[in-house]
Structure formats: C-alpha cells, structure tokens
Amino acid sequence: MEEQAVCWSQVAPESAAPFVYAAEAALAADAMDRAAGYLDQVPDHDPAAVAALLERVDMLFADLAEPLDAAATCQRILTIDPGCGPAHQRLTFFYAVTLQRSQLAAQTRQAIEQGCELPEAYVYLIGADWITLSNIVPVNQPWQAKHPDEELFCVAIARGEVAARGLEFSLAFEQAPDDRDDTASATARQLQTTFDRFPENLELLAFFLEEAITVGDPNRVIDLLALVPAAGQQDNRFWRYKGWLHATRGEQSEAHEALTQAVALNPFDFAARHYLADLARKQGNVQQAEQLARLAEQGRRLRRTILQQPEVRAMPLPVMRQIADYAEACGQPEIADRLTVRIEQLRVSQPAAGPPLPPGMTRQKPAEKSG
C-alpha cells in the first residue's frame, strides 16, 4: 500500500490523498517518522490539508518528540486557515509549557481575535509574565532527551524544577522564600548552571533579575541588564526592571518612561503599575498614585487567586469574571467583551469539566495546572 501510494503521489502531487494513504501505511508498519514525512508533503490547497497536518502535529509533539517542527507545522496550518482553533490551542500550550512568554501572549491574542480561543487563553494572556504550569518538567523531558542541547527545553526544565520546589521569587513587593533545604539548593544550583550555559536567555535573566530586585541589589540588576539581548526590547519585564533601577537611583523621568513602556507592551503588568504608583506618590500626584495602586492591587490579587486554582483549564466562572473586570480596568475592552461572551456561553452550557488539552499533548497525560 505504501509503495503504491508513493507511486500515486508522483503522478498526482497536487492531491492530498496519496500522501494520506502513504502515511496510513507507514503507521501500520510502525514507521511514524515516515508517516510524518508523507503528511508534510500534503499540498496546502487541498481541503484535506488541515486535518492531515494536524495529525502530523500530534505525531511530532508526542511520539516523535519534535515540538519545534510541530510548532512550525501549526504556523503553516494557520496560514491555510487562520481560524483553525486546534492549531491555535496547540501553539498556545507549546509556548506556555516552554516559557516563551511573549509568543504566548501574542498567540492567545490571535486566537481571541479569530474567535476560536479556549477559556484558558485568557489566563495565559493576563498571566503571560508569571504563569508557570506544573507539568513543565514531564512535558519537556522527552523533548530534551531527543534534543539534549536545545536551549528551550533545558531552560524550561530548569525553571520547572524551581517552580516545583517552591523557589519562585515573587514580585519585588511580595515576600520571598527565606529557607531552602538541600534539595532546593541543588535545584537552585542547577538553575545557575543552566544560566551559565545560556547567559542571554530571557527567562533565566528575568528570574535572576526578579531575585535581585526582591533582595534590593541594584548592582546585580545592572550586571544582568547588560546581558539582555535585543529581543528583550519587546519584553515588558525588562522595561520594568529598568524602571525599578532608575527609580532606585532617583531618576524619576527615566523610570517613568521605562515603566510606561512596560505597560504599553503588556497592559496587564500590575508590577509596573505598582512602581508607577510609587513614582506618582513621590511626585505629589496623590490621585493618580491611588488609581495606579488600586489597579496594581487588583492584578496582584487576581494573580494569587489564579495560582490557587488546581487547573488552568477549569477556572471557576467567578474567576473568569474577575479576569474580564481586570481586562476592562487595564484598558482592554475588546478582551473584556469577548471574555464576557465566553463566560455566558460557559454559564449556559455548564460543562462538567474543562475542555481537554489538544490531542497531541494528552498522550503524556500531564496535569496542566497553574503554579
């Protein structure tokens, strides 16, 4: 069957059918890599292309442990059908579980704009800075085993271990952990080793910058900011760190500029608004300071509420309403309006459980939880 399908594809390369048959035959022969290769040759214009490519995505994410190729295939699907919900969902989860935070926020916005988002997309959007799924390590482990030198997977595992041990440093105005046992210290050393290996990694830089700010070490912040690559210009966190540094030096104008840029890049950055409130208070703008402080506190409380939930995919409707209120308060009415519609849909349907993970992610049966 596979041989005949390949011959067929040579005389009918503009049809998806021979490639699909070849893939089915390869799967029956336990040759999933060949099957994925055949599906990659499906022509984009064929009506069966999206379904075939989604099958390929599932193979690549799970059994073949080729998530980068899978993500690229998802992007290809979205060029064919920008409103393909499963492709958006797979990409969103991939960006979340590999801590690609800017891409996560952008992808969730695209899904929302296309009207094909799952409810957890709103959690990913407002929590892009700080959401850390509890299943990062088990999901990334087979990917790293296949690609031991891939920075993305090495960093995700190191950060996932830190989160699992409860070593996350909170934002600067929250309490940081005081005591660490031997296992926790080993985890921290692993993170440092990974940072030594990838000193320009944005996620690791952000972690150590948060740590330096939490303990109030401006010299450490200066040293770390000097390592931030050009990509950091599009990441609100690093503008926030710059704003904190300028504020500690009494450079109020520069601090205000940096923090304003942080909020422009991510309207849900409540920590930047917290620092802006301090600046406004020092400048005598009491009313503005109070407004900023209230919004920052609203975001901080919402973050805490979300992190207390057992699963990202099963947020209670009252929490979703809080997210909509926060989006409205942050000047994102289009997000708030769309979420309000989704909440009403959920209320009417009253699902017994949250929607499932994309098929390509369920084979490892992780428990996708906030953390």
For 307-362, the pLDDT digits (tens) are: 999 888 889 999 999 999 999 999 999 999 999 999 999 888 764 444 444 444 44
Q: What percent of the chain has pLDDT over 70?
A: 89
Q: Are residues 263 and 117 in the same domain?
A: no
Q: How many domains does the chain have?
A: 2
The contacts of residue 142 (CB under 8 Å, 6+ apart) are: 65, 364
pLDDT of residue 168: 66
Per-residue CA distances from 142 to 37, 63, 91, 194, 364 (Å):
20, 9, 18, 18, 10
- 85 and 30 housed in the same domain: yes
- What pLDDT score does 366 carry? 37
Per the model's pLDDT, the better-predicted residue between 167 and 245 turns out to be 245
Provide the angle, in degrees to the nearest 10, between the axes of the packed helices 236-248 and 218-225: 140
What's 104's domain CATH number? 1.25.40.10
Same domain, 202 and 115: no
Domain shared by 82 and 209, yes or no: no
Residue 163 reports pLDDT greater than 50: yes
pLDDT at 188: 81
Residue-number span of the structural domain to which 248 is assigned: 165-176+194-343
SS3 of residue 366 by DSSP = coil
Give the pLDDT confidence of 40-75 residue by residue, as tens digits. Answer: 999 999 999 999 999 999 999 999 999 999 999 999
User: What's the average model confidence in pLDDT over 275-289?
Assistant: 96
pLDDT value at residue 169: 53
Residue 224 in contact with residue 236, Cβ under 8 Å? Answer: no
Those residues whose C-beta lies under 8 Å from the C-beta of residue 39, and which sit 6 or more positions away, are: 19, 20, 23, 52, 53, 55, 56, 59
- Greatest pairwise CA separation for the chain in angstroms: 79
Separation of alpha carbons 39 and 362, rounded Å: 21
DSSP for 268-285, please give it: T-HHHHHHHHHHHHHTT-
Residues 304 and 200 placed together within one structural domain of the fold: yes
Average pLDDT over every residue of 33-39: 98
Q: How far is CA 16 from CA 9, 30, 61, 81, in A?
A: 8, 21, 22, 16
Residue 285: give its domain's CATH number: 1.25.40
Q: What is the pLDDT of residues 217-251, one digit of tens each?
A: 999 999 999 999 999 999 999 999 999 999 999 99
| Tokens of residue 34, six digits | 């060949």
Task: Establish if 323 belongs to a structural domain.
Answer: yes
pTM score? 0.88
Question: Looking at residue 182, what is its pLDDT?
Answer: 64
* Cα–Cα dist 314/289, whole Å: 35
